[in-house]
Amino acid sequence: MMKDYRVDFEALPWELVMDGVRQKVVADSEKRVRLVEYSKSMPPHWCIKGHYGCILKGRFEIEFRDGTRVFEEGDGVFIPSGEEHRHKARVLSDSVTAIFTEDAEPCVAGYGSQARRT
C-alpha cells in the first residue's frame, strides 16, 4: 500500500492555543506543521521561537527589535529562533491564517500537548 503524505487539515481538530489563537497540528518528534488562525483578541506576547511558513489569508503587523513589518496574504515568513529575533504579532485584518513548519518544541505556554481541542 502506498503511503499518503498529504496532511488532511479538514480532518484534524482545532486546538485552542490561547485567547484568539487556534491551530491544527501534525507532528513527529522533530518537526511540526501548524495551520494557525489568529484573531484580534490574541493577547500581546513576545515569542523567541522560529517560524517558517506563509500567510494564507489576512494581514499581520509583526514587531521586532529593529522595527515593525507588515505581512500579508502570500508573504513568506522566515523568522529564526532566538532572543535577537524576538517578535510580537498583531492582527490587522478580521483574522489571519498561516501555515508554519517549526521545531517540535512549543513557542509559548499552551502550545502543543497543552493546547485545548475545540
- DSSP-derived letter for residue 42 is P
Q: What radius of gyration do the chain's Cα atoms show?
A: 14
pLDDT digits (tens, 9 = 90+) for 8-51: 999 999 999 999 999 999 998 888 999 999 999 999 999 998 88
Domain boundaries, the chain: 14-117
Residue 104: pLDDT over 60: yes
The bridge status of strand 51-57 relative to strand 95-103 is antiparallel
| Fold (topology level) of 14-117 | Jelly Rolls (2.60.120)
Q: What is the value of pTM for the model shown?
A: 0.82
Q: Which residues of 70-104 are buried (b: 16+ CB within 10 A; e: fewer)?
A: ebeeeeebebebeeebebebbbeeeebebbbebee
Q: Does residue 43 contact residue 17 with C-beta atoms inside 8 Å? A: no
State the residue for C-alpha cell 518544541: 105
Query: Band of the pLDDT at 116, cuts 50, 70, 90?
Result: very low
Query: Which residues have CB under 8 Å from 8's CB, separation 6+?
Result: none
